[in-house]
Chains A and B, each alone.
Chain A
């Protein structure tokens, strides 16, 4: 499987980066094609096409020709219908899901099912032979076979149902509101569903729209798009109709499917639809990445192998023993069935499923929605989290972070719920600055949001202006009112040549007839136009010293990865600019130099306030958090530092070089804990170099990465035997999400592609929820251990009767049907109850489990359950068995070797130890009483087993006997079921239960207490002597 994947993978990489090589790969693909592997080869070709995209280079006329359309009139409806029929609807093909019937059948043959099917089959064979021989009890085997088959089918249906239930939660997610697009067809504008769009259609887009397909822009006005879901860049990108870059991804005249238009309007020609779009290709890249087996699935498989191995080897061993002891082959087969049934914990897999879904439910309450049940535990064993920056670690919204005025840097509150700002606002300079910020801003709140918290209000305008508007609103309040009072007379909007924005206002002071000109823009451009600077409300000449101070501040803020804006103003002299002065923005008949510099504001997409805490929790839990983003290295590093992904005192190689003033090459790489890797560097790295980085640095940031590179990084981590979680929201993240051991998508900001690829969805987009998830995942791993230990124990008590029966030829102590009643009756609720057990110690303070060393079922667990507690249980149950027989007239020594006569249907006057004579049925009835006593004894001792399994290290009294109420529900249910079976259904002969004398319920009690005491002693030694021989051999 691994090999196949690497093939696809390399094709993908080469498909975008190395066109020459694809031919060779393609041949390989064709070769595969012969084997019926069509899907993949199609994908290779698709990916190759990405290189052919040259529409951005074509002129309008060439485009019209290429797509046989008209820019003014659009396609004709007939032609559009034709193309639609050819290309299919403009929608992403949903990832191919496994057919339900296959899923169902998988449940039927997975796990222990095969073993049980074999058991059932053997039963029917035995039945067939016995019927042919005319044995009276032949039908027992038929029924047993049917029961076994039913067990498999029912547990299969149950597991299938559980799976389906969690999948259904997802189905609701994928339902999208049908999107509409404004398209020009037959020379008319009309609204059509976005799915109906075809290549060559002319569409109009305005601010707020989602781009309905890949579009080559023909006309654009102030158009900005948010490409963050595609590239991870949170800054809006402007779009125009000019061809600016060779790379179709970088050029400005193409807008991509599923990105959003933030402002402005544009008209463009659809050049790709549906799966052909860039997004569509990335999405199909994701579906090409194979689904990994989850760690818990591997663990359960491992466990199934162990149990099945034990079952088969004991079964075969005793089959041979039985045959060589001169048992009939048919009898030996029946023994074999008994051994298999006794050894296989029939109910366990269902229990595991229930436990996982309980945890999944608990996690859903804490905003982690789990798509794939097994992913519940994966999060717990996660050792590396590769987190996307934008939207996951950050709020995905520009916010003012720092201010510089009066020669001083002030920090602003960047938390999600800011209502006030605490920096010093008494200075006159701030008053001036706030005025510039308020007035020189085109962003506006959408009306009707007075009751909405400021930070949540919807704003029309770009991200920086929005940030400034909200910032001003928080501090000053009623920005719109201020603007109204300072009426705007003229305005020059921001453009890329000027790099500034300017507006002229009346002042709100009726006595002041001067006009106020306010300006903001790139700090260096603003500074160029200033001759003075405002310090403490006073205008002072902008000398060299002040300019340097500005430069330092600018560099410092820029170094924080923040986007810095400079602000300046000028009061226009009343005499030169009277009331009626006609401002003309084209000729700029007003001064734009010798202005007064007021201050700097810097903005950043700030980290979510919960993230630093969550990151440090991950740290203490031994989880490495790696940032992987498409954003700039500086911004990425700044955010990494502020959330603690790069801790305060660690340095990158570059930092050390700077500090020591030596070239980067001379720095010992191992001195640097942190590393910031650029996507460009990553591209040239070999696998070994990447591995080296991942091993040597504990704090890593990958910036400017492409979707493929995210995939490489995830693979690199997985090569270190790490269980990798990837968080992301964008389409660009989806291949990595799929590749990861657990992909975590954002529920609010996440794109559908990301959600589809993910195993888990954070409903509140909060990175901190992951920590909760990790905790739950670790807890469920521990608790599953307990559940399995609990379940395995009684298997020995179920198995020993068969072994003793074969070797010592005593009447059978417990029947196969009775065993099934333990496995699927009394034991079910208690083993689920263990899933509710609280953690024994702070599970978030230990390292994540090593997926190859810390097994779910390790040697100690199996040995302790099988060879110690299991043996005590067997002894207790056998005591009950011997007691029942002895008190009814059959002393232990009489029983030995009695089997053949005992089971002889024609021997109806066998003498017991007291000389009484028994018919066959009387003996059988006694045998069932023995079954019931054995069953009850196992049940009673399982109560003790349940209690001891609450903890693995702590004393039960430390853990609290009553804290987990569900355990008690389990105990009560266990005993109630036993009571019902014995007294309620004791008269139903087919079930082989009999009403038991009351005292037999207590025979095994001392052994139950022994189990508890022994286990307490075990735990005491483990706690007392950590690391000792005892600890190593007895702790599971």
Chain B
């Protein structure tokens, strides 16, 4: 065993390595003859081709079993998430921090909102139908064009003062900013059990005067005729209903933490792990 433990010199090691890379006595390259390398490579190529084939076949048959309109399971989508626009994140999450007199500080919010609402202008929405019913808009069959289902129109003007049409700055310079609350789409989800879910925003710590808010559309509700959602394939032009919140009396030069919840049966907002389930929380600070 002594021989095994003997320290080899560096040159010996190099020599051994060279021999390993190319052994002129046996014609071996890295421990195999060239022909042997060819054989083993061919075997592996064949092996991997077969394996890739098997995998592709499996994925193909998986795709065949899937329904193109609705996913098989919605185990993780029991309750919709809620998001805020403009969605600008700082160190502590969603932050609406700006200086009312400094255009640069709020311009990004305005741009974001304009960009977001551009999907809701009349041209973008023209493919959708006008819905007036206050009930769920069930569609059993594909009556729309190209075997689709109809989607209800939601245009930005429904947000009235917060539509960005009349006031293109969404009230930012005035210190009465409009923020938009959006509820995530879930296929076949029926929120509110027949009553339209509504948005309700509160300041987390009511140290200041209670929030004075204006919701658009009126009462901050999501009209029921936007539900259920039938999926991208059935409703390619579907757009989420929105609720805009105008903050009328935000205390200047102070940070206010606001929580906006969507209230309605079937919408939970108490999941300790998911801060965006059924509610959205953000901070505001408006400076003079």
Q: Are B2 and A916 in contact (CB-based, < 8 A)?
A: no
6 tightest CB-CB pairs across the interface, nearest first?
A: A915-B232, A919-B81, A917-B184, A921-B274, A889-B71, A2-B2
Chain A positions within 8 Å of B66 at CB level: 886-887, 891
Q: List 9 A-B contacts (CB under 8 A).
A: A6-B2, A882-B62, A887-B72, A908-B83, A908-B184, A917-B81, A918-B77, A922-B274, A1010-B54
Interface string of A281-317 (1 = CB under 8 A from B): 0000000000011000010000000000000000000
Chain A positions within 8 Å of B72 at CB level: 887-888
Q: Are B81 and A909 in contact (CB-based, < 8 A)?
A: yes
Chain A positions within 8 Å of B55 at CB level: 875, 878-879
With A and B bound together, what is the CA distance between A872 and B51 in angstroms? Answer: 7
Knowing A718-B2, A875-B55, say if A916 contacts B71 (CB, 8 Å). Answer: yes
Q: Are B62 and A888 in contact (CB-based, < 8 A)?
A: no
Chain A residue with Cβ nearest B2: A2
Q: Are A915 and B231 in contact (CB-based, < 8 A)?
A: yes
Q: Are A926 and B76 in contact (CB-based, < 8 A)?
A: yes
Knowing A879-B55, A886-B62, say if A922 contacts B5 (CB, 8 Å). Answer: no
Cβ of A954 < 8 Å from any Cβ of B?
Answer: no
Interface string of B51-85 (1 = CB under 8 A from A): 10011001100110010011111111100110100
Q: Are B277 and A867 in contact (CB-based, < 8 A)?
A: no
Chain A positions within 8 Å of B63 at CB level: 886, 891-892
Chain A positions within 8 Å of B97 at CB level: none
CB distance from B33 to the nearest CB of A (A): 11
CB distance from A657 to the nearest CB of B (A): 35
Cβ of A24 < 8 Å from any Cβ of B?
Answer: no
Q: Are A887 and B73 in contact (CB-based, < 8 A)?
A: yes
From the candidates B59, B73, B74, B83, name the one contacting A892 in the complex (CB within 8 A).
B59
Q: Are B184 and A1033 in contact (CB-based, < 8 A)?
A: no
A contacts with B: majority SS: helix
Interface string of B208-236 (1 = CB under 8 A from A): 00000000000000000000010111010
Cβ of B187 < 8 Å from any Cβ of A?
Answer: yes
Knowing A879-B59, A914-B231, A915-B229, say if A1029 contacts B48 (CB, 8 Å). Answer: no
Knowing A867-B44, A887-B71, A915-B231, say if A920 contacts B1 (CB, 8 Å). Answer: no
CB distance from A929 to the nearest CB of B (A): 7
With A and B bound together, what is the CA distance between A650 and B111 in angstroms? Answer: 102
CB distance from A12 to the nearest CB of B (A): 15
CB distance from A293 to the nearest CB of B (A): 7
> Which of B2, B83, B94, B273: most chain A Cβ within 10 A?
B2
With A and B bound together, what is the CA distance between A401 and B55 in angstroms? Answer: 76
Cβ of A957 < 8 Å from any Cβ of B?
Answer: no
CB distance from B286 to the nearest CB of A (A): 22
Chain A residue with Cβ nearest B70: A914
CB distance from A753 to the nearest CB of B (A): 22
Cβ of B238 < 8 Å from any Cβ of A?
Answer: yes
From the candidates B3, B44, B47, name the one contacting A2 in the complex (CB within 8 A).
B3
Interface string of A830-873 (1 = CB under 8 A from B): 00000000000000000000011000000100000001100110
- How many contacts between A and B, using CB within 8 angstroms? 145
Cβ of A524 < 8 Å from any Cβ of B?
Answer: no
Cβ of B249 < 8 Å from any Cβ of A?
Answer: no
Q: Are A1033 and B229 in contact (CB-based, < 8 A)?
A: no
Q: Are A2 and B6 in contact (CB-based, < 8 A)?
A: yes
Chain A residue with Cβ nearest B275: A921
Cβ of A1 < 8 Å from any Cβ of B?
Answer: yes
Cβ of A3 < 8 Å from any Cβ of B?
Answer: yes
Chain A residue with Cβ nearest B40: A1033
Cβ of A106 < 8 Å from any Cβ of B?
Answer: no
Q: Are A888 and B276 in contact (CB-based, < 8 A)?
A: no
With A and B bound together, what is the CA distance between A686 and B6 in angstroms? Answer: 22
Q: Are A922 and B76 in contact (CB-based, < 8 A)?
A: yes
Chain B residue with Cβ nearest A298: B4
With A and B bound together, what is the CA distance between A465 and B145 in angstroms? Answer: 118
The tally of residues in A whose CB lies under 8 Å from a CB in B reads: 57
Cβ of B149 < 8 Å from any Cβ of A?
Answer: no
Cβ of B182 < 8 Å from any Cβ of A?
Answer: yes
With A and B bound together, what is the CA distance between A914 and B77 in angstroms? Answer: 13
Residues of B with Cβ closer than 8 Å to A? 1-6, 31, 36, 39-40, 43-44, 47-48, 51, 54-55, 58-59, 62-63, 66, 69-77, 80-81, 83, 87, 89, 91, 93-94, 182, 184-187, 229, 231-233, 235, 238, 240, 271, 273-277
> Which of B75, B231, B233: most chain A Cβ within 10 A?
B75
- Besides A916-B71, A917-B186, A929-B76, 10 other CB < 8 A contacts? A878-B55, A879-B58, A906-B93, A912-B71, A914-B70, A914-B233, A920-B274, A922-B81, A925-B76, A997-B75
Cβ of A251 < 8 Å from any Cβ of B?
Answer: no
Q: Are A888 and B71 in contact (CB-based, < 8 A)?
A: yes
With A and B bound together, what is the CA distance between A922 and B69 in angstroms? Answer: 21
Knowing A887-B71, A918-B184, A919-B274, say if A875 contacts B6 (CB, 8 Å). Answer: no
Q: Which of A250-293 contact B (CB under 8 A)?
A: 292-293
Q: Are A3 and B6 in contact (CB-based, < 8 A)?
A: yes
Chain A positions within 8 Å of B51 at CB level: 871-872, 875
Chain A positions within 8 Å of B6 at CB level: 2-3
CB distance from B276 to the nearest CB of A (A): 4
Chain B positions within 8 Å of A892 at CB level: 59, 63
Chain B positions within 8 Å of A923 at CB level: 76
Chain B residue with Cβ nearest A868: B47
Q: Are A919 and B276 in contact (CB-based, < 8 A)?
A: yes
Interface string of A707-736 (1 = CB under 8 A from B): 000000001001101000000000000000
Chain A positions within 8 Å of B87 at CB level: 906
With A and B bound together, what is the CA distance between A908 and B276 in angstroms? Answer: 7
Interface string of A1006-1017 (1 = CB under 8 A from B): 100010000000
CB distance from A167 to the nearest CB of B (A): 23
Q: Which of A899-917 contact B (CB under 8 A)?
A: 906, 908-909, 911-917
Q: Are B59 and A2 in contact (CB-based, < 8 A)?
A: no
With A and B bound together, what is the CA distance between A915 and B188 in angstroms? Answer: 12
Chain A positions within 8 Å of B274 at CB level: 919-922
With A and B bound together, what is the CA distance between A32 and B277 in angstroms? Answer: 74
Q: Which of A988-1036 contact B (CB under 8 A)?
A: 989, 997, 1006, 1010, 1029, 1033
Chain A positions within 8 Å of B185 at CB level: 911, 915-917
> Which of A916, A925, A929: most chain B Cβ within 10 A?
A916
Chain B positions within 8 Å of A867 at CB level: 44
